[in-house]
Amino acid sequence: MAYTKIHQIRKTVGSAIAYITDPEKTEEMLLLYGYECDPLGAGLEFETTAATADRINGKPLNADGSGVLAHHMIQSFSPEDNITAKEAHEIGQEWASAVLKGKYEYVLATHVDKGHIHNHIIFNAVSFADYKKFRATPYKAAASLREASDRICSERGLSVIEKSESAKSHHVREKSRSARLYANKESFKSSIKALIDEAAAVSINYDEFLAVIQSKGVAVKNAYAEEGFHIAFKLPGQKRHTRGITIGEGYSREGIAARIEAIGKGSLSADIAGNQYADVGYWKGRHAQLEENHELFEALYTIQSEGIRNYEGFSARIAELGAKEAGVLEDARIARAAAGRLKAPSDKAAGYKEASKLLSEAEKIRKRAENVKIAQNMIDRIEGKQKASVAKEAIKLKPIRKHSRSERSR
């Protein structure tokens, strides 16, 4: 039997992925899989897909105000099924394929560090296939996940949640079971304190702490200052949140952040230092390389969209955009002056509104010129000393798009 759930990720995609790909939880990353992405750099690849969608759709990813950057699916197996980690990992891939239809990048990590084997799947909120966002009402998404998981488990001879058992009663039962595991005959406050200490000890920043503590089943309220005054925590089965300041000194939002920063300034522990997967220099290098690839993507997109075909085209396009910006600014000045001469309030307001639109247009043109300069600098960095003989060659670009795995294997 597999219990499933899904929740949204709005701010901590990189930290959430870093947590689920922890080598200690995934048998030294043997139980790690990335669909259409590198698991260790998936956050940046998600970002690149979202940036492409912004340009193709002509509006920002979060123009709808949802702020959802990714989704986190969890599939927990019952110990009674005696399932192996390898089989759970295969089921996770099959489950993700059934739910996502091969349209979204995702990272699958099978964790074996607790009493029950469970899958974590974090997938991009934006499809690389059609550049549309994943949309589903909460109850429909939950039902779809459970139905797909039950079907796959049934086909493999594993137990499934009986349909006669309502989703609510099953949820209540699971919350009660989780509460017993977490509380362990201690008070909720003591359990929360222990979990905070554990999460803070393994986190490199505050965002990662939030991802780790939430992955342990702890609900967090007022995680950021703009959301509320005091950070508060709640375990499964707990009726009310527990404020951090009531737990003790160092458990407020600021106190937790300060503790994590202090830990970060210390030296690596012996077990981390001896772990090849925790080679900080290596992962920093990988991250830097992925960031450079992302910058290169942005540069190539700018070159293509602005119609630049050779090195001299950069200067020419910058000049053209500069002249265009100056013209629009002049139009805005004229419109503003004309509005100031009008007497009727409604006419005056309409005139100023038109001038404001022109100023916004000029700002967009200015940013386009800045992007062309950035793209030119990227080409200069790539070519280096060979710029004179190579970078001034004609730049030939093919349409930028992601290839399916079947195309890659040809």
* Least confident stretch, 80-89, 116-125, 142-151, 310-319: 80-89
More confident residue, 321 or 178: 321
| Span 298-302, average pLDDT | 80
φ/ψ (deg, to 5) at 230: -115, 130
3-state SS record for the chain = CEEEEEEEECCCHHHHHHHHCCCCCCCCCCCEEEECCCHHHHHHHHHHHHHHHHHHHCCCCCCCCCCCCEEEEEEEECHHHCCCHHHHHHHHHHHHHHHHCCCCCEEEEEECCCCCCEEEEEEECECCCCCCECCCCHHHHHHHHHHHHHHHHHHCCCCCCCCCCCHHHHHHHHHHHHHHHHHCCCCHHHHHHHHHHHHHHHCCCHHHHHHHHHHCCCEEECCCHHHCCCCEEECCCCCCCEEHHHHCCCCCHHHHHHHHHHHHHCCCCHHHHCCHHHCHHHHHHHHHHHHHHHHHHHHHHHHHHCCCCCCHHHHHHHHHHHHHHHHHHHHHHHHHHHHHHCCCHHHHHHHHHHHHHHHHHHHHHHHHHHHHHHHHHHHHHHHHHHHHHHHCCCCCCCCCCCCCHHHHCC
Query: What pLDDT does 288 receive?
Result: 64
Query: Could you tell me the pLDDT band of residue 277, with boundaries at 50, 70 and 90?
Result: very low
What is the side-by-side order of every strand in the sheet holding 118-124? 2-9, 70-77, 118-124, 106-111, 32-35
Architecture of the domain spanning 1-164: 2-Layer Sandwich (3.30)
State the average pLDDT over residues 342-360. Answer: 88
pLDDT-based confidence at 328, cuts 50/70/90?
Answer: very high
Digit-coded pLDDT (tens) for 53-100: 887 777 665 555 557 899 999 998 877 777 888 899 999 999 999 999
Judge whether residue 387 has pLDDT over 50. Answer: no
Q: Which residue has the higher pLDDT, 286 or 80?
A: 80
pLDDT of residue 368: 92
Highest mean pLDDT among 60-69, 105-114, 181-190, 384-393: 105-114
Most confident of 4-8, 114-118, 208-212, 363-367: 363-367
Asked if 152 and 83 count as a contact pair (C-beta separation under 8 A), the reply is no
Mean pLDDT, residues 201-226 = 84
Mean of the per-residue pLDDT values of the chain: 77
**Measured distance CA(188)–CA(372) in Å, rounded:** 56
**pLDDT recorded at residue 247:** 86
User: Measured between alpha carbons, how far is residue 120 from residues 4, 93, 159, 303, 352 in Å?
Assistant: 10, 11, 20, 38, 53
The pTM score is: 0.49
Domain coordinates of the chain in residue numbers? 1-164, 165-278, 282-408
Helix axes 206-215, 13-20, angle to 10 degrees: 50
CB count, 10 Å around CB of 105? Answer: 23
Q: Looking at 71-85, 117-131, 174-188, 227-241, which range is the least confident one? A: 174-188
Can you tell me the mean pLDDT for 280-284? 52
Residue 223's pLDDT is: 87
* pLDDT surpasses 50 at 403: no
